[in-house]
Every structure is written in C-alpha cells, then in structure tokens.
C-alpha cells in the first residue's frame, strides 16, 4: 500500500513524502530515521495508478545494463562515455529515459549515487553499493557484481513462478471439472437414483452442493480472485506475525526461511565486496526491506555495535543455523568474510531449490488425491447404487 506521510525532523523541518509498505513498517522506519510523525494517510489513487504504470526497470534489464556498463569500464571508457555508448544500443524506452537522466546528472557534476537516485528507477542497494565503489575505485568489478546480483533476483523470481504454474493449472482444472460435474452430471444421475441411495448422507451433500453450484456458480468463479486479494491484504497487514508462524511449518516454513537467508547473504556479499562495512550493510538491508527476518538483523547490528564480532552476534540468535555463524567466524579469522558470505548464499540457494522441488513433489499428489477422492465419492454415491439396481 502507498501512504502520504508528513513528518518533522529534529531541526524542525516538515517533510512530506509518499512511501510504499506496511503502515507499521513505515512508522518504524520514520522512528529509525529520527523523524516525528505528523500525519499518515493511505494513497488509494496513487496505488491504483501505479498498477497500470510501468516506471521501474525489471531485474533482467538492470542486470544487462550493469553487465554492459562493466564491459565499457573494463575497456577503458569513463562512466559517462560508457553510459553514452549504451544509450545508442538501447531500445527499451524506460531504460533510455533512465540513461538520459543519468547522463545529465553526471555532466552536472553529481556523484554516481545521486545520479542513480535521481532516476527513481533503481533499487536502494544500487545506491549504497555504487557510493562505496566510487570511493574505493572498484567500480568495474562492482558493476559486474551488481549484474550477477540482479540476474539471480530475476532467475529466482522466474523459478518460483515456473514452480507454481503446474500446481496452479492442476488446481484450476480440478475446480473447473468439479463445477462441470456438479452442474451437468450430478443432476441427471440424481433423477434416476434409487430412493434408498438418496437417503445416504454423502449423496445428500453432493446433491445440495450441485444445486448450489447450478444457482451460484458465478460466486465460485469470483471468490477465487477475492480470496487471493484478501490473503494478500492480510499478508501485508500481518506479515510479521504470519511469518513467525510460517517458519514453524515443517516444509513450507523451511522453504521460506531458506529463501530469505539466500537473499540476505547475497546482499551481504554484494555490500562487503563493494566495501560497505557490516554495520552499514545490516542497516541498509533492514531499511530496504523491513520484515520479520531483517528485523532480527537489527538486533545483530546492535550487538556488533557494542563490540561483538558478527559471528558471535549471530550465535546468540537461534533463528540463524549454526552453519552460518561457524562459517562467518572462519571468515573473520581469515579476513575473507565476503567469500564466506558467498558460500553461505550458494548453500541456501541450493537448499531452497531442493525444497521447492520437494514442495512441488508433495503438493501435486495432494491435488490429484483430492480429484480422485471427489470422483470416488461420485462413483460410490451414484454409479454403484445405479449399477446395483440394474443387475437385480
């Protein structure tokens, strides 16, 4: 949801801004940034307009952009020259306009962070990483890392969508089949059903269900989208509480946790490789995506700020598996912490892939079992009594 927020700085300045997220998360973010809330109102108009407005770059486009930018920098071009060259090759209108804004800001003497922030098209991680890379002079390598980062984010999203397509198709097919059977087949069978079979409880339930479907089939069709929207709304408002319960589920909980840890340690790898310190990295991860997991990182950050090593701080929170803090302690000892971040990210990435396959392997037989059970109920309530009558 989008919100219009008016707040007051410590210097007495009034700040008005439009922000996206859960209400409580935005209030926490204001408090974190030392801003006092004056008013907060939902922006329904902006929310619906943004549903039809495409002004953000996709992860795949951003990945290609940074990969080409890295190649240009590696060949010896300046940032402005590399961006100008890319502008000649690009056909995507949003990216072309983004590059135009970048060029103007760089020519005006702005830093890379300010130039990319001015476009409003890049995620916050890009701003923090480029700022550190420009100061360290490691821009060529960091742009390539950003390319790999956004490639992973795009592949991860595509993998999840592909994994859900087959179960969704099976569910829709089963729902459609149950509606057709209830409307077309059950009424015809019920007219020739023996009287004693009609008194069966399961037969009564199916006949009444079929009668309801004949009269109100349209309710079933629209209830699906309404249910999905309702679940999304509940998830947005109660995300922290729901995530706490989801993590306790044996299969789905492990999958969600592994995916969250994959993204977190990929972010930490990108930040660390770019030269951003641990305190700033943990703060940025929470600021960019406040949720149940990243909020725990703030507790870790506070302990690191008090003198704990990162491994020791993670060891105090049993949410994080021992594999994590043991590897991080090794990374702190060897001085190659970013390599261990990368290893942890790869480990949980593979774990999440395996969990997705296991989840799909589990859910498909469940859906098919429901279909078989429904058809078996139809056969036992209608076909078998009719068959028994015919052979007498």
| 59-151 shares its CATH topology with 157-392 | yes
Interaxial angle between packed helices 252-274 and 124-136, expressed in degrees from 0 to 180 and rounded to the nearest 10? 30
Contacts of 323 (CB under 8 A, 6+ apart): 344, 347
Residue 272: which H helix or E strand, with range? helix 252-274
Q: Which of 128, 155, 117 is nearest to 263 (CA)?
A: 155
pLDDT number for residue 193: 67
Domain ranges of the chain: 2-51, 59-151, 157-392
| DSSP 8-state assignment for residue 182 | I
Residue 17: which H helix or E strand, with range? strand 14-20
CATH architecture of 59-151: Up-down Bundle (1.20)
Contacts of 249 (CB under 8 A, 6+ apart): none
pLDDT number for residue 310: 94
Both tokens of 212, joined, read 């309801």
Walk along the chain (392 residues) and give the pLDDT tens digit of each residue. Answer: 677 888 888 777 787 877 777 777 778 777 767 788 888 887 766 655 554 445 568 889 899 999 999 999 998 888 888 888 887 777 778 888 888 888 888 888 888 888 888 888 888 889 889 888 888 888 899 999 999 999 998 988 888 888 778 777 877 777 777 778 777 777 777 777 666 666 677 777 777 777 787 777 778 778 878 887 888 778 767 777 778 788 888 778 888 889 899 999 999 999 998 888 899 999 989 888 888 888 889 999 999 999 999 999 999 999 999 999 999 999 999 988 999 999 999 999 999 888 888 877 777 777 778 777 777 777 777 666 666 666 55
d(C-alpha 54, C-alpha 64), whole Å:
18
Alpha helices for 108-138 (secondary structure H): 112-119, 124-136
pLDDT number for residue 264: 93
Both tokens of 385, joined, read 């009594």
Superfamily of domain 157-392: Type II secretion system (T2SS), domain F (1.20.81.30)
Contact between 116 and 122 (Cβ < 8 Å)? yes
């Amino acid at each position: 949801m989008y919100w219009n927020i008016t707040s007051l700085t410590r210097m007495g300045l009034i700040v008005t801004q439009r922000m996206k997220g859960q209400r409580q998360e935005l209030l926490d973010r204001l408090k974190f940034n030392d801003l006092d809330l004056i008013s907060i109102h939902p922006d329904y108009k902006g929310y619906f307009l943004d549903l039809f407005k495409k002004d953000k770059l996709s992860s795949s486009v951003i990945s290609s952009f940074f990969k080409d930018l890295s190649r240009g920098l590696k060949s010896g071009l300046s940032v402005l020259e590399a961006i100008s060259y890319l502008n000649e090759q690009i056909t995507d209108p949003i990216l072309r306009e983004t590059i135009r804004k970048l060029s103007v800001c760089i020519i005006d003497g702005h830093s890379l962070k300010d130039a990319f922030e001015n476009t409003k098209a890049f995620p916050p991680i890009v701003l923090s990483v480029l700022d550190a890379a420009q100061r360290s002079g490691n821009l060529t390598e960091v742009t390539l890392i950003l390319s790999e980062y956004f490639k992973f984010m795009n592949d991860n999203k595509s993998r999840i969508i592909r994994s859900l397509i087959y179960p969704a198709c099976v569910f829709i097919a089963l729902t459609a089949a149950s509606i057709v059977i209830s409307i077309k087949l059950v009424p015809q069978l019920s007219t020739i059903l023996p009287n004693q079979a009609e008194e069966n409880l399961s037969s009564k339930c199916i006949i009444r269900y079929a009668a309801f479907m004949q009269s109100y089939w349209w309710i079933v069709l629209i209830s699906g989208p309404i249910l999905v929207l309702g679940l999304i709304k509940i998830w947005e408002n109660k995300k922290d509480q729901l995530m706490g319960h989801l993590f306790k589920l044996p299969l789905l909980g492990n999958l969600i946790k592994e995916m969250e840890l994959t993204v977190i340690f990929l972010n930490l790898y990108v930040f660390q490789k770019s030269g951003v310190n641990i305190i700033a990295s943990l703060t940025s991860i929470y600021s960019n995506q406040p949720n149940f997991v990243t909020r725990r990182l703030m507790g870790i950050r506070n302990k690191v700020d008090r003198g704990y090593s990162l491994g020791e701080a993670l060891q105090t929170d049993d949410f994080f598996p021992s594999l994590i803090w043991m590897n991080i302690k090794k990374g702190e000892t060897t001085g190659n912490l970013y390599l261990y971040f990368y290893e942890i990210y790869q480990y949980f990435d593979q774990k999440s892939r395996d969990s997705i396959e296991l989840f799909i392997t589990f859910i498909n037989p469940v859906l098919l079992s429901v279909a078989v059970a429904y058809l078996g109920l139809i056969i036992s309530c209608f076909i078998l009594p009719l068959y028994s009558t015919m052979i007498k």
